[in-house]
Structure 1
Amino acid sequence: MAVASALAAEGANLVITGRRGEEATRIAAELPSAAIGVETDLCTQEGLTAAVTAANARFGSVDILVLNGPGPAPGTAAGLSSEDMSSAFELLLRPQHALVSSFLPGMRKRRWGRILAIGSSGVAAPLPNLALSNTGRAALAGYLKTLAAEVASDDVTVNMLLPGRIATERTRGLDLAAARRRGVTVDMIEAESRTSIPAGRYGNTEEFAATAAFLCSGLASYVTGTALRCDGGWSGPSDSRLGSLS
């Protein structure tokens, strides 16, 4: 929601997709620019087709593509099955590749485009107990980094934005899970996390969204192939038992 709001504030028209159609429509209705909500499951071919069709039908072309896959369930690397590895690919790489493949030709033809993936600090340093996220998002980062060099001369930028401890529902949920594992309060988990952040606090969604909007703007035309950290200087949990953002 925060990234969508930041882009809308800059005048971008938006297509909001999600499995919960009512929520996608609600978010679209609250934005200060033209926007539509589309109920779709991007992990299915039918859902991908519906999203692409809706975007092209409403706005004619897509110049900015923001990729934001869900966070997989926590778990250890030693406990992963072959089915788990396949699920990481299906959740965090295949839909993103399909969306890029749908919209990239138009961007290259028009000689302007922005592709931005919302990643994880686990791309820079794998996070404890988040093996699926570490695996899938690292694969996506490798694909996007390779792509960035191939399309830079067409004025299409490809970047990834890596959140650290941003105050979101996802972060709160991981902190709660860490608290249950350790038998402590969530306040203790949050306090320990803050000690590992040079800025001394969790980031807020508006700060993160402003960084995303910059990377999607014309001013960022010479920034491509990067994995930019937005984490208050955080280099990862000093205690491997802490919950971490995927």
Structure 2
Amino acid sequence: MDLRLARRTAIVCASSHGLGRACATSLAAAGCDLVLNGRDAAALGAAADDLRATGIKVETVAGDIADDGVQRALVDAAGGAPDILVNNNAGPPLRDFRQLDADAIHAGLDANMVVPIRMVQKVIDGMIERRFGRIVCITSGSVKSPVAGLDLSSGARIGLTGFLAGVARQAAGANVTINFLLPGLFATRRLEGVHAFTAKAQGISVEEAEQRARARIPAGRFGDPAEFGDACAFLCSAQAGFITGQSLLVDGGAFPGVL
């Protein structure tokens, strides 16, 4: 399917590794020019070089996406007029909620709720004026099905979802959509940390924790980041203009509910 995204410009936050990079890769395959972001300048540069090989234009902005200067640099690198924003940021470390002090709670809320909102504020008016915009926020399957140890991440991302759900309805008439992608367990570096936390909490080996996690997924496997990236690219497509304010689970059937 031609997603009709050729020569569109997409900002993809936290895109040197993992699901962010997968989204950037799928958007590149659809013909989007990219502005990539990551804290590790070397990894970011390597990702950019790989994607430039597809023939698209790639700009990079190294730094913490929580920094307002980095946010502004991303928009500037997109010529001040990005067509697509993929909000992504690392979640807080897994830990028991009793260990969270006020500073940790505020840091988690800032990274996973406030920062994505600030990015939306910086790009949405231009999208409305141009009558095309696609905003995708990568949150977590724990928004639908909370997981012990991810309490802060879940809470912040639920707050982001509620906040932007109302914004999505305000922008829909201008062909600007805001949607949420909720990953389950994907084969990324983050998953390794999940297994380690579970193993320690339950007194089992990391290998056993991995086996138990896989067994809970009806698909019988962990997700391939590439399929997550393709889901993101579709939500950014011209054809997805009638989809907004939605939370799409990509979890191999792990969530047992119907809504």
TM-score > 0.5, shorter chain as reference? yes
Correspondence for 2:60: 37
1:11 to 28, 31, 34: 31
Structure 1 position 225, deviation (Å): 0.5
1:53 to 72, 76, 81: 76
Correspondence for 2:115: 95
Corresponding position: 1:231 with 2:251: yes
For these two proteins, the number of residue pairs brought into alignment is 233
Cα distance in 2 for partners of 1:128, 1:226 equals 24
CA distances 1:23-74 after superposition (whole Å, capped 9, x unpaired):
2222111112211121122212222222222222xxx520000000111011
Structure 1 position 196, deviation (Å): 1.4
SS of residue matched to 2:97? coil
Structure 1 position 172, deviation (Å): 1.6
Cα distance in 2 for partners of 1:70, 1:26 equals 19
Corresponding position: 1:182 with 2:182: no
Unaligned runs of 5+ in 1: 237-246
RMSD (Å) for aligned C-alpha atoms: 1.5
Q: Summarize the alignment of residues 30-179 of structure 1 with structure 2, pairs less than 5 Å apart.
A: 30-31=50-51, 32=54, 33-56=56-79, 61-179=81-199
Cα distance in 2 for partners of 1:115, 1:90 equals 19
Given that residues 118 and 161 in structure 1 are in contact (C-alpha distance below 8 angstroms), is that contact kept between their aligned partners in structure 2? yes
Cα distance in 1 for partners of 2:203, 2:100 equals 25
CA distances 1:56-105 after superposition (whole Å, capped 9, x unpaired):
2xxx5200000001110112334432222211222112221111111101
Correspondence for 1:197: 217
Cα distance in 1 for partners of 2:95, 2:204 equals 20
Structure 1 position 154, deviation (Å): 0.8
Given that residues 14 and 35 in structure 1 are in contact (C-alpha distance below 8 angstroms), is that contact kept between their aligned partners in structure 2? yes
Correspondence for 2:227: 207
SS of residue matched to 1:2? helix
Given that residues 42 and 48 in structure 1 are in contact (C-alpha distance below 8 angstroms), is that contact kept between their aligned partners in structure 2? yes
Given that residues 187 and 225 in structure 2 are in contact (C-alpha distance below 8 angstroms), is that contact kept between their aligned partners in structure 1? yes
- Letter of the aligned partner of 2:92 in structure 1? P
Give the TM-score of the pair, scaled to structure 2: 0.85
Unaligned runs of 5+ in 2: 1-20
Moved more, 100-109 or 188-197: 188-197
SS of residue matched to 1:203? coil
Given that residues 117 and 164 in structure 2 are in contact (C-alpha distance below 8 angstroms), is that contact kept between their aligned partners in structure 1? no
Cα distance in 1 for partners of 2:226, 2:67 equals 31
CA distances 1:113-172 after superposition (whole Å, capped 9, x unpaired):
000001101111221111210111111111121111111111101000000111111112
CA distances 1:197-246 after superposition (whole Å, capped 9, x unpaired):
1111111111111111111111111111000000011027xxxxxxxxxx
SS of residue matched to 2:31? coil
SS of residue matched to 2:233? helix
